[in-house]
A = this chain, B = another copy of it.
């Protein structure tokens, strides 16, 4: 998705706070939204108007609060919306089967392509009432600990906004079709070639001989383990050179040790 279509979609993703009791929570919800790139905040009949606490908690997301329209009812706040989703605790006596936030975010994005979409968050203590839920096309529930489900308002806005951002960025990692044997790219991107790796393994084998690592055992088992280890690490070319350097110095020490012992086995 290009930046301008993302901006258009973001603009259509509206967070609606209904009957918020603590003005500070409006600020922290705005902050949570803005960290995830959302900007359309709408307030419905807050118990207190945004105040100093609101701005203190907004921590730089004041622009969202200043731009936020205030409506007397949820019906007015979502009148122009294509899709309205109510955030709800589990076990509410609601008729709507709650969606997982991830599923909800994906559907919200699809709907936002054709018009405004509202995610609606209720009062801190009591959530949304039945008449408000009846205005919603769907419900979303954050899977919380049943024994301690008290997500605060900003935390719930954070989680939903995060899922919306993941959906918008489209970078949600998909499991790959095949895992075994696929190499993770090294951080630099300059992955060692197979020939470079084989060169390293040859050098490793001669060095292990030179430092008398095997002490009479067959080298196969150790070499197999080392190959596996270094292949798993997905070395880049610079790392291969670094390891060559260490091996060269170990060999040099072995040669010196041998020379000074008057050994005849020196290269």
Q: Which A residues are within 8 Å of any B CB, using their own CB? A: 31-32, 34-37, 59-61, 95-97, 100, 102-103, 142-145, 148-152, 154-155, 158-159, 162, 165-166, 169, 171-187, 208, 210-213, 222, 225-226, 228-230, 232-235, 238-239, 242, 245-246, 249-250, 252-254, 256-257, 260-261
Contacts and interface: CB of A to CB of B under 8 A. Distances in A.
B100 A173 contact: yes
A166 B152 CA distance: 18
A161 to B, nearest CB: 10
A249 B143 contact: no
B249 A211 contact: yes
A32 B155 contact: yes
Copies in the complex: 2
A148 B242 contact: no
A212 B219 CA distance: 26
Nearest to A104: B173
A60 B148 contact: yes
List the 3 closest pairs (A to B, CB-CB), nearest first. Answer: A260-B260, A256-B257, A233-B233
A211 B248 CA distance: 10
B165 A162 contact: no
A180 B154 CA distance: 31
A144 B179 contact: no
A113 to B, nearest CB: 17
